[in-house]
Chain A
Amino acid sequence: MKRLLRPGISTIVVVLSAAMLVLVPLVRQNRKVDFSAEIKPILNKKCISCHGGVKAQGGFSVLFREEALAVTGSGRPAIIPGDPENSEMVKRILSDDPEERMPYRHEPLSEDEIGIIKRWIRQGAEWGDHWAYLPVKETPAPRMSSNWIKSDIDRFVYAKLKKEQLTPSPEADKFTLLRRVSLDLTGMYPGNTIARKFLESNDEHAYEALVDSLLASGRFGEKWAGMWLDLSRYADTKGYESDGGRQIWRYRDWLIKAFNDDMPYDEFITGQIAGDLLPAATDEQYIATAFSRNTMTNDEGGTDNEEFRIAAVMDRVNTTWEALMSTTFACVQCHSHPYDPFRHEEYYRFMAFFNNPRDEDIPADYPLLREFRNDTLKQHFAELMTWIRQHGSEQEARKFDSFVRTWQPSVNMVSADSLENALVINKNVALAFSNHARARLKNVDMENAGQMVWNYFSNTKNGTLKIRMDSPDGPVLASVAIQPVNKWRKEFIGFPRQEGIHDIYLTYDNPSLPAKSDGFYLTFDWVGFLPAVPEATAEAGNYRKMFQDLVTTNDVTTTPVMMENPGWMKRKTQVFDRGNRLLASKTVEPAVPRSLSFPMPEGTPANRLGLARWLTDKRNPLVSRTMANRMWEQLFGTGIVETLEDMGTQGMAPTHRELLDHLSWRFMNDFKWSTKALLKAMVMSATYRQDPRISNELAEKDPSNKWYARGPRLRLSAEQIRDQALSISGLMSDKMYGPSVMPWQPPGIWLSPYNRADWKNSSGEDQYRRALYTYWKRTAPYPSMLTFDGMPRVLCAARRIRTNTPLQALVTLNDSAYLDMARHFAARMKEEGGPDLTGQLKKGYAIATYRPLQENKLKVFEALYRKAYAEFSRDTLRTKQMLGGPDKPSDARSAALVVVANAMMNLDELIMK
């Protein structure tokens, strides 16, 4: 059959080619122009900087079709569909007058470009959608056959390789594979048992077994959580001037657990965007929302809370787009997107989803989720809730549940107004009262309220606080004498049950103080209004006490979380002209951009939960593509779309668009959003398993490995560098979760003004935890990790750019932390490598790389050892120093081995994977 067919095909090809030669110009003339592929790039490159977004020179913009076809400043439309010859745009492109010709004072368009534009206008000047904004379609792999191919991924890759006339590389050796896949999936070395099992097995499924055990390892979650920390701009401090500490590590715990449990990605996103809005949200679901609370809080004296609250809200919008949808939405803050189809107003509609949580740039980062640390408290809370459900309404129960867990809803007193003899300290800290002072809380929901809970400070005798309603001299709800106490406290003031919405006035008078005084006698943090604990039975008193203890206890772990404002506190969202909040105009309601080819799914609420449904709807074109692309980038070093931060028209074109769609489709459908399944598909491919050696041919034809004719060879990340060194030195702590730790760093790194916080070196195993647990201060991050391109985590960072600098060499050569690790590594060589030097060096190299040590490298290390040994055997002081101090033995052999260990840890094969 084949033989028979072959000449036939050739003949057809020849005939067809000949025919094409004749037909091409004709076909070209009539072929439908592809707007995204042919027109949009010309517009973006040549026209849009003057005719789009903010600038619409001559009243002409090519951003949206209706704008482009509209009448321009000259009184005529610049584009007349169907009539290129009379379209002003074409005339101006062709003009001979340098003052008329477009692009103005820039290189003219080429013949080809002009031809395409004319053809496009003749065909009706239709606009089209960018590929990434169209839904993901099921994309079967091309039919390809080769012994090299192991999976569908390889078929896509193979097809491109063939086109580029490249041959793929064979599978890498086992040592390379083991190191690569371990570092990629778990960020560090596998346990010895897993490693041995793989290296010693001849079973053809040994690699798959290795992959499965790595995916099942608890270390998996730590590695992928680490990646997510850059996206969620996680840090242990609040940023800005004083950059004080913040407790938000429970979010990191949540991420680790979510990745380890292989939480489906749609659920993973829903939790982070809207966990608090899920019915009967659990503590874990609240904590997931800390994703959006990793924004900065500005404690600098004199700053305007509202300004920085809005900055945080905008950051949430930008991060949601960049991290989850590879789209740069930030441009739209000030004007319609110059390149992508997003309108200015759509930014603010989208912002409206994020504009109504309770947080207000308060130094304490309210609202906080309070997780009880001990079981008694947890049990009391359960008992209290049961009792309230029995004796009160469901609505009351919800209020108590919320208040005990979050102290919300409550009013931050810095937002009080109508102040008399009162002021907000430094304009943003707390509300302070002098004598005969007064403040108003506007429009408070008092429906069913029977008590006020407040957090305040007063150490002055004889003062009285009154709670009044509706006006400064309105009815007194309660009047209490303030006892002087020298600390902040929370107290409970009961009053008869109220109804409706009211202005509340708080007044303070103290007859023992002068009427006019500069001093401050009472300082408020927040106040909340709640129903009284039901007085149903004789036991009510016990439950009231239980409630009060639960609200006041400090035995809690707190985490800033998202929590929606109740109706009476709701903010409206306005469009800011040119992004300036002082130019607020039209009020808008939450909505997603219209241009993304599909609307909100039916029946979804117009809040963050609805937004989460929209994000995770299979018709959302960006979410699955973004994650599939990101996973690919983590393994191969470069995304299928290299610009992870932007898949829009300004981002780079995908190298393997069909492969990306194939993976994205399978991620949502076949894999049911399982991250582990997606990763497994990638690491099982022949593409991933290739040998990394660069042939001369590849060095010339594909130096950046764009077509994947070889395995990835990449520098380790900042975290991996540290984790690897901890692993091979045997120091790595396997403790998981918990607050951030402070491994050794040089003194003098932290010097924030108005902040006395110190770096206190952790002790015990906390010195040797995985890098992702390192305390991250935004204005002064851990220096050695920053040197290896770690991110300051101030804003969402979609990817890191790997650099290669002398300062990196100085870290791994000289940083005391690394020398400490080298000492332990040397000790391991000695312990595990047998009595002779050669054995020890071989062992060391095997520990570090899993690979046997080549003879010529062995010689290099032996020579270094001899030189070091000769030096140390003459110098006791240096010997002791190298081993860690004057109390150490003067053992020249051990000291020389430390020098070799230090050198080994700097080998290219360790810095790279």
Chain B
Amino acid sequence: MTRQELNAQKLATEARETILKTHTRRHFLKESAMGLGALAMGSLFGCGSRKAEPTAALFDPARPLFPKSPPFAAKAKSVIFVHLAGAPSQFETFDYKPELAKMDGQDCPPSFLEGKQFAFITGVPKMLGPQASFARYGQSGAWVSENLPYLSKVVDRISFLKAVTTDQFNHAPAQLLMHTGSARLGRPSLGSWATYGLGTDNQNLPGFVVLTSGGSFPDAGKSVWGSGFLPSVYQGVQCRSEGDPVLFIKDPEGMSRDLRKASIDAINQANMLEYETYNDPEILSRISQYEMAYRMQITAPEVMNINDEPQYILDMYGTQPGKPCFANNVLLARKLVEKGVRFVQLFDWGWDAHGNVASNALNVGILDKYRSVDQPVTALLLDLEQRGLLDETLVIWAGEFGRTPMMENRNGIQNPYKGRDHHTEAFTIWMAGGGIKKGVTYGETDEIGYTAVSGKVDAFDVQATILNQLGFNHEEFTYPFQGRPFRLTDVAGKVIRDIIA
């Protein structure tokens, strides 16, 4: 299918949906019509395109997810954040270090160890050369390893940040720092901030969706998509590829759609009578929430079903229908963003390449991890692009920290497989789309990739940049809590101007 055909198809689907939506809505209005109530409800429906004026009072409990305009012109409308939980190695992906290869097998010089903290390395470890070969790709000449053959073809769409640092060398705190701006539990995550500030364009879907793969949640658990002190409505909603796509979205067994419709109508009719007695606007809000719930029951399973995608798209992503896997989640992310979801967070667990067992060895289990993400992530960029969505969708690829140029010697003993310990002083992440420069590499590490030497950035800078692309000044985007205005970036963060188009 050509791009034009694709767009035509997209338009057709949209038209179909609009008809369905209008129909459903009219249907509701007709059936629940009870004088004044119907009018009041009509005013609460809120169309997807409606934009409110940016105001200081951001939180309206009655319609907390209504779309809002950011204070500044936004480059990106939505975000897809791909987090490889466990932290992939920069040495086997993007940060090519031939000098490190020369040191392979030598004792680690004491200067790399003194005063440093590692999670598992004890005593004097050996240096470990890159476990992959590298080449330069695209017009930008970006270095990519043999582990990511698909991605190597799209480097000209990407900005690489090669000198990212963190101060957390354990998974859970480092993941929290990356997503909530604090290494401790209790702060709102990026997606919560985004939906708090912007609402979401499709009221029939959650505004902040989380998809996990790899057999385990990220180490920090659901707190990495928690809403912290923001109202709970802004927490990420986990969508699942097994079981109900959204918790409790499926009608109970025996309840037909018709009957569910009839019972929601009954509830709303009775509630409208209650409203006539109490005059409490909260009741009207409840009525509209029940209608939204009904519509979400239709929309969410639809959008969460990848089987209606054409075969060439499924092939492009390398999906495995019916199985929970990363490729399926990436395709879902595209579908969700296309349907107006504000923030899609993906976590893929299993990147913690210590080399203490085969499954997490750089030369064994981790090779499968590369294969499982390379094709789908590449497809995501191309697919968004062919739909004209890449310009307004910010895609981020990151781990929570990097890996050591030394081979891990857990408890002082050389690990049985090739593996690296957690490393805070340099790692690579990349961003693409959403107003980010194309084909740029920003930041540099020293010749063995131990330390950032130029273009050093941290999680706060990344967060500031994401918020910037969404139309916020991260220093002014705050929420009052415990007597002071809190912001995602706490007291730090600088927008990384060099990668902004």
A interface with B by C-beta (< 8 Å): 239-241, 243, 296, 298, 300-304, 311, 322, 328, 330-331, 338-340, 423, 425-427, 432, 518, 643, 645-646, 648, 650-651, 692-696, 699, 703, 713, 715, 746-748, 751-753, 778-781, 783-784, 786-787, 789-790, 792, 794-795, 801-811, 813-816, 819, 854, 856-857, 860-861, 863-864, 867-868, 871, 877-883, 895, 899-900, 902-903, 906-909, 911-912
Contact = CB atoms under 8 A, between A and B. Distances in A.
A912 B282 contact: yes
A902 B254 CA distance: 13
A804 B247 contact: no
Contacts of B259: 867-868, 871, 899
A810 B217 contact: no
Contacts of A780: 217, 221-222
B266 A300 contact: no
A692 B170 CA distance: 52
B283 to A, nearest CB: 5
A752 B484 CA distance: 33
B274 A907 contact: yes
Contact of A814 (B186, B252, B277, B285): B252
A319 to B, nearest CB: 12
A150 B248 CA distance: 47
Interface string B43-81: 000000000000000000110110000000000000000
A663 B428 CA distance: 59
A423 B122 contact: yes
B372 interface: no
Interface in B241-290: 242-244, 246-256, 258-260, 262-264, 266-267, 269-271, 273-275, 277-283, 285-286, 289-290
A310 to B, nearest CB: 12
Shortest beta-carbon contacts, A-B, top 8: A779-B221, A302-B119, A881-B254, A882-B254, A646-B483, A650-B483, A809-B293, A806-B293
Contacts of A900: 263
B223 A779 contact: yes
Interface stretch (B140-148, B231-239, B382-390, B430-438): B231-239
Given A241-B219, A427-B119, A811-B248, A328 B271 contact: no
A792 B226 contact: yes
Contacts of A879: 254
Contacts of A650: 483-484
B119 A301 contact: yes
B420 interface: no
A877 B170 CA distance: 52
B252 A816 contact: yes
Nearest to A885: B253
B169 interface: yes
B233 to A, nearest CB: 4
Contacts of B279: 693-696, 699
Nearest to A815: B248
Nearest to A911: B286
Interface string B448-491: 00000000000000000000000000000000011110000000
Nearest to B184: A311
B255 to A, nearest CB: 7
A801 B235 CA distance: 13
B231 A801 contact: yes
A709 B333 CA distance: 49
Given A779-B222, A792-B185, A907-B271, A645 B170 contact: no
19 contacts: A241-B171, A241-B221, A301-B119, A301-B120, A311-B184, A427-B120, A651-B483, A751-B212, A753-B171, A787-B232, A792-B185, A792-B226, A803-B233, A809-B286, A861-B270, A864-B262, A867-B259, A871-B258, A907-B267
Contacts of A787: 232, 247
B412 A752 contact: no
Given A747-B243, A814-B248, A752 B217 contact: yes
A291 B255 CA distance: 45
Given A302-B119, A792-B185, A753 B252 contact: no
Contacts of B411: 423, 425-426, 432
Given A713-B278, A779-B221, A779-B223, A801 B232 contact: yes
B413 interface: yes
A880 B253 CA distance: 9
Contact of A645 (B264, B293, B481): B481
B117 interface: yes
A789 B264 CA distance: 23
Given A322-B482, A746-B244, A908 B422 contact: no
B422 A895 contact: no
B273 A856 contact: yes
- Most chain A CB inside 10 Å of its own CB: which residue of B169, B244, B255, B292: B255
B412 to A, nearest CB: 6
B220 interface: yes
B248 A813 contact: yes
A805 B289 contact: yes
Nearest to B285: A804
Given A241-B172, A694-B279, A784-B248, A903 B266 contact: yes
B390 to A, nearest CB: 30
B254 A805 contact: no
A302 B118 contact: yes
Contacts of B264: 813
Contacts of B219: 241, 300, 753
Contacts of A803: 61, 64, 231-233
B80 to A, nearest CB: 22
A830 B409 CA distance: 69
- Most chain B CB inside 10 Å of its own CB: which residue of A301, A779, A795, A882: A779
B221 A895 contact: no
A666 B130 CA distance: 73
A330 B253 contact: no
B106 interface: no
A806 B413 CA distance: 54
Contact of B274 (A304, A815, A908): A908
Contacts of A810: 246-249, 293, 296-297
B405 interface: no
- Most chain B CB inside 10 Å of its own CB: which residue of A432, A810, A863, A911: A810
Given A648-B483, A863-B266, A908-B286, A805 B64 contact: yes
B298 to A, nearest CB: 12
Given A794-B223, A805-B65, 13 more contacts: A240-B220, A426-B410, A751-B216, A752-B216, A781-B222, A804-B289, A807-B246, A809-B289, A814-B250, A819-B252, A856-B273, A899-B255, A902-B252
A808 B235 CA distance: 13
Nearest to A338: B484
Nearest to B63: A804
B91 interface: no
Contacts of A694: 278-280
A144 to B, nearest CB: 28
B240 interface: yes
- Most chain B CB inside 10 Å of its own CB: which residue of A296, A304, A778, A792: A792
- Most chain A CB inside 10 Å of its own CB: which residue of B223, B232, B237, B484: B232
A286 B271 CA distance: 50
B247 A328 contact: no
- Most chain A CB inside 10 Å of its own CB: which residue of B237, B247, B275: B247
Contact of B185 (A239, A301, A328): A239
B185 A795 contact: yes
B206 interface: yes
B263 A903 contact: yes
B215 interface: yes
Contact of A783 (B172, B247, B481): B247
Interface in B342-356: 349
A339 B480 CA distance: 14
A808 B289 contact: yes
A241 B183 CA distance: 12
Given A243-B221, A331-B484, A303 B170 contact: yes
Nearest to B279: A694
Given A645-B482, A751-B215, A880-B254, A813 B293 contact: yes
